[in-house]
Structure 1
Amino acid sequence: MRVVCVGAGPAGLYFAISAKLRDAGHEVTVLERDPWAATYGWGVVYWDDLLDVLYRNDPESAREITARSVLWQDQEVRVHGINGEQTAYFGGYGYSIGRSALLDILARRATQLGVDVQYSQHVAEPSALPPADLVVAADGANSRIRDHHKEFGTRVEVGLNPYIWLGTEQPFRSFVFSFNRTPAGWIWLHAYPSVAGISTCIVECSPHTWKALGLDLLGDDEGVQLLEGIFQRALDGHRLLSRSRGAPAHWQRFAHVTNDSWYHDTTVLLGDAAHTTHFTLGSGTRLAMIDAVVLAHSLREYPDVQGALREYDLHRRAELHPVQAAARTSMAWFEHVDQYLDRDAVAFAHAMSVRHAGQSPWHHQLHLATQITAVRGARRAFATGRRWYLARRRGDMAARQRPWDGDEGSAGSESPRSVSAPRPGAPGN
């Protein structure tokens, strides 16, 4: 089968890998509009459930991803208001990997398997593509391939809050949310480690605050300097970084993408072209890579391309519906976060943790207990054992020998269709 995949992000590259692993005879070409190594964005987060999928699907690339990932433990919610700074805590842990490192791993693995990965290939419309039995549109939320076909029934809902994706030299160990009150209104950051010595910072605020601070008029450097001043305590005096192997970061509003169908004729949507989930859920990359595995699996199980695409669309789109609903709820909660910030930090953090609903009856009691230092230590110890057990189960011998809870905080420098519940915080796609 001749397959042309448009987009060399995690979705496109991991589909190419997965398809070649199942049938080495597939002729797979990946076309990427950007130059090689010109990735945008900082770190992306994921959890053990994705590692389980990756190790079952392709242990070789999974081991590299694990080795280049960073472990973060616990989540801190810091509220800087009229009563000074207050901090509340969530439990839990996760992993983060630099987007450039992830793409490097996947591109090398795809090439090793015989995939033809071509960069600087701008595809304006489907007619410009080479002949193919299957076209995979993995070209992001603003997919040109998808937008050429009205049959997908695409709907795009743009969020209210402006946000900007930055890096920082502050080496965060935990997932940190810092809500700062300014004379112009509330502004907050979501921060987590990405690679050794570099963390990701997503800054978000309401449209009113954004304009009142002058961020709509300031240049790139001036805007970053203003944010450094606002978040000086959270950043501990470290700089914010705007450039990540490309142009400076810019303010944007989140595009919530849904489609009535994920395939039309022999064109199929993958990753953000098919669906987006707000960054406060932290699941975009994870869901895109699972999409890739499911599509490759369907193509192997159903020799007829139309049957394979129908199966992929039927199951995967149904599974993503509740996830996207939770993401939309999360986006709306942060768009109206001001109404919760008059509470103390512990109560505010609890409201933040239940914004998706569906929490257990004892969730509030556990949240209160987590504010106690000894309880947090016990939860971290339990999490260490859990990570060791999961690493052993998936056959990750290197991870089993790694000092998971050392000061460096590193992780080493189910069915493919399973989708776990959203976490309390944890943004990052």
Structure 2
Amino acid sequence: MKIDCVGAGPASLYLAVLAKLQDPAHEVTVHERHAAGTNYGWGVTYWPDLLDDLHRHDTESAQAIEEHSVSWQGGFAHVGQRTTAHDGDPGHAISRHQLRTVLAQRARSLDVRLSYGREIASSTDLPDADLVVAGDGAHSRLRTEHATHFGTHVSSGANRFIWLGTSRVLTAFTFAFAQTEHGWIWCYAYGFSPRRSTCVVECSATTWAALGFDRLDHDATLRLLETLFADLLDGHELLGRTDIDSHAQWQAFPTVTNTTWSYGNLTLIGDAAHTTHYSIGAGTTLALRDAMSLAGALRSATAPAQLPAALTAYERDRKQALLPVQSAARHSAQWYENLPRYMSLEPHQMFALLGQRHSPLLPHLPPQLYYHLDQAVSRLQTLRRLKQRLGPRLARTLQRRQQAGREA
């Protein structure tokens, strides 16, 4: 089978790897509009369960990804001059460029053809292929070409954000909230290599404009943000992209959904098919799992005539898996869009609700009430676990004492 993937992101590259592993006879080509070696983006996060899945599908690339990743446990929240810590689940991060490099090298080793520096703006730009996979991102040109068929819907978030790096190396996932005369501005930051961390800054559109970010160029934006987050950065600088002009890359997050993911022999993958708000850190994981699912579905397509059924199975599998993630992402984005509602809480309370931001109940209850209810439920769960662990042991102890009393 001849498979052409457009966009050399993690989804396309990993699909190419898995397709060749399943059948070395597949002719697989990955097309990328940027030149080979182009470095853009900072770090991406993932969690231990993804690493387990990667090892199950291809141990060689999984080991390389793990070797180039950093790990952390728990996190910190800085609210003004106050700080609170949280013992959360372990997480991992890797440079997006390094992830793509690892997957590209693995693909080449399996005789995948990588074509760089050529724009695929339309399906007519592609040679004949049995399957065309649009992995060209949230603004996919191949998807846009057939947007009516796909039922594409794009909605923009209310807040503004910018994706940056910093030379400060953070060893835990860190949140920082700074209050200005024009409202709150905050960032999510985490290390992704021994020398760099990612720093995503977000604020309301009103605060963004009032602080002048709608008028500042890229360098001036970085300098102002360094002032606002001076405590977090601890003397280190913020780093912007070097492949852009002087315009600062602020965005409103685009949530992309599609009614259907396939059109003839064209199918969507990764951000071209769906996006989830960056605040839950799931984008790369979902893209790689799309590739796992599509590769699995293609096992049953030994001839082009069997492709429609395989693509239907792939879409059904991934849409089902996406339901809880999309719900969590939607509520997480709304939590940040309503951030002032929670900032009067004590830092440890606010951080606790930050961890609960995926809950559909949280927007409908007073924050203090929700916090105390959540704490009460946690205590009950702890008591229940304690009872399950100690109950049988306590019963045996009492039984032995009763038996000893009768014998006496």
Q: 1:194: which partner in 2?
A: 192
- Structure 1: which 5+ runs fail to align? 369-429
The correspondence for 1:364, drawn from 375, 379, 383, is: 375
Q: Are the aligned partners of 1:138 and 1:269 in contact in 2 as well (CA < 8 Å)?
A: yes
1:145 paired to 2:142: yes
Q: 2:295: which partner in 1?
A: 296
- Percent identity among equivalent residues? 46
Cα distance change of structure 1 residues 247 and 320 upon mapping to structure 2, 3 Å threshold: farther
Distance (Å, rounded) in 1 between the aligned partners of 2:83 and 2:372: 26
Tell me by how many angstroms 1:128 deviates. Answer: 1.1
Distance (Å, rounded) in 2 between the aligned partners of 1:365 and 1:35: 55
Distance (Å, rounded) in 2 between the aligned partners of 1:63 and 1:93: 18
- Larger-Rg structure: 2
The correspondence for 2:88, drawn from 88, 91, 95, is: 91
Q: 1:285: which partner in 2?
A: 284
- SS at the partner of 2:280? coil
Tell me by how many angstroms 1:243 deviates. Answer: 2.4
Distance (Å, rounded) in 2 between the aligned partners of 1:66 and 1:86: 31
Distance (Å, rounded) in 2 between the aligned partners of 1:245 and 1:109: 26
Q: Are the aligned partners of 2:48 and 2:90 in contact in 1 as well (CA < 8 Å)?
A: no
Amino acid paired to 2:168: Q
The correspondence for 1:181, drawn from 179, 182, 186, is: 179
Q: Are the aligned partners of 2:76 and 2:83 in contact in 1 as well (CA < 8 Å)?
A: no
CA deviation string 1:23-58 (max 9, x = no partner): 111101110011112132100000111111110111
- SS at the partner of 1:195? coil
Q: Are the aligned partners of 2:6 and 2:32 in contact in 1 as well (CA < 8 Å)?
A: yes
Tell me by how many angstroms 1:367 deviates. Answer: 8.0
Tell me by how many angstroms 1:86 deviates. Answer: 3.6
Amino acid paired to 1:312: Y
Tell me by how many angstroms 1:255 deviates. Answer: 0.4
- Structure 2: which 5+ runs fail to align? 362-370, 380-408
Equivalent positions of 1:108-123 (< 5 A) are 108-123=105-120
Amino acid paired to 2:35: P
Tell me by how many angstroms 1:171 deviates. Answer: 1.0
Distance (Å, rounded) in 2 between the aligned partners of 1:10 and 1:293: 11
Distance (Å, rounded) in 2 between the aligned partners of 1:119 and 1:79: 45
Distance (Å, rounded) in 2 between the aligned partners of 1:104 and 1:122: 20
Relative contact order (alpha carbons < 8 A, sep ≥ 6): 1 or 2 greater? 1
1:25 paired to 2:36: no
Q: 1:323: which partner in 2?
A: 325
| Count of aligned residue pairs for this structure pair | 365
Amino acid paired to 2:37: A
TM-score (norm 1): 0.82
Distance (Å, rounded) in 1 between the aligned partners of 2:207 and 2:42: 25
Distance (Å, rounded) in 2 between the aligned partners of 1:362 and 1:158: 33
Tell me by how many angstroms 1:253 deviates. Answer: 1.1
Task: Give RMSD over aligned pairs.
Answer: 1.9
Tell me by how many angstroms 1:20 deviates. Answer: 0.5
Q: 2:215: which partner in 1?
A: 217
Equivalent positions of 1:21-420 (< 5 A) are 21-80=21-80, 84-149=81-146, 150-243=148-241, 250-303=249-302, 304-357=306-359, 364=375
Tell me by how many angstroms 1:364 deviates. Answer: 2.7
Distance (Å, rounded) in 1 between the aligned partners of 2:110 and 2:294: 18
Larger proportion of helix: 2
Distance (Å, rounded) in 2 between the aligned partners of 1:96 and 1:179: 22
Distance (Å, rounded) in 2 between the aligned partners of 1:321 and 1:92: 22
Tell me by how many angstroms 1:209 deviates. Answer: 0.8
Cα distance change of structure 1 residues 212 and 202 upon mapping to structure 2, 3 Å threshold: same
Q: Are the aligned partners of 1:228 and 1:240 in contact in 2 as well (CA < 8 Å)?
A: yes
TM-score (norm 2): 0.86
